[in-house]
């Protein structure tokens, strides 16, 4: 299967007011196309001025990112670091080092992201009033109230 045959997904489950930061993110769900259930694989494009996600970390899920093209800024608790084609970055589950990629360049950037699909994972967003419920589908305020 050629990657262009997969639908480009631009929607996000982030609540209004937060979703705008990822408006230029597009994912092609490679893992779903093959019925994978134990881990997810996305081919992600981030347009200039957008970011991959809100800065976050997972309680139970591992993540790995391989940059294919373009230039991005990796934002973690340690600060900012430029990344480009050929760079691989991993984020172990349970390590509270929140991360995201921001495209401040004038060209799109693309990467492959791989993540485990583990039930009862909670995503934390230290910069925003947001966390995900363990069902993986319900955005919550940090006080536990649903959006």
Domain ranges of the chain: 3-140
Asked if 24 contacts 47 with a C-beta cutoff of 8 angstroms, the reply is yes
The pLDDT of residue 119 is 85
58, 60, 72, 141 from 120: Cα distances, Å: 10, 7, 30, 17
Q: Is the Cα dihedral 38, 43, 14, 76 positive or negative?
A: positive
Q: Residue 132 — pLDDT band, cuts 50, 70, 90?
A: confident
In this structure, of 13-17, 28-32, 70-74, 90-94, the range with the lowest mean pLDDT score is 13-17
**Residue range 3-140, CATH number:** 2.60.120.10
Q: Residue 142 — pLDDT band, cuts 50, 70, 90?
A: very high
**pLDDT tens per residue across span 86-130:** 999 999 999 999 999 999 999 999 999 999 998 888 899 999 999
Asked if 89 contacts 52 with a C-beta cutoff of 8 angstroms, the reply is no
**pLDDT tens per residue across span 25-36:** 999 999 999 999
Residue 11 scores a pLDDT above 80: yes
Q: Residue 75 — pLDDT band, cuts 50, 70, 90?
A: very high
For the whole model, what pTM was predicted? 0.93
């Amino acid at each position: 299967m050629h990657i262009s045959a997969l639908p480009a997904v631009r929607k996000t489950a982030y609540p209004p007011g937060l979703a705008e930061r990822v408006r230029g993110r597009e994912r092609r769900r490679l893992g779903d196309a093959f019925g994978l259930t134990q881990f997810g694989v996305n081919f992600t494009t981030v347009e200039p001025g957008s970011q991959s996600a809100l800065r976050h970390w997972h309680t139970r899920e591992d993540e790995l990112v391989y940059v294919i093209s373009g230039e991005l800024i990796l934002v973690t608790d340690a600060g900012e670091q430029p990344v480009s084609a050929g760079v691989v970055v991993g984020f172990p589950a349970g390590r509270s080092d929140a991360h995201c990629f921001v495209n401040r360049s004038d060209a799109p950037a693309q990467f492959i992201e791989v993540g485990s699909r583990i039930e009862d994972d909670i995503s934390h967003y230290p910069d925003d009033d947001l966390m995900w419920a363990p069902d993986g589908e319900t955005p919550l305020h940090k006080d536990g109230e649903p959006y």
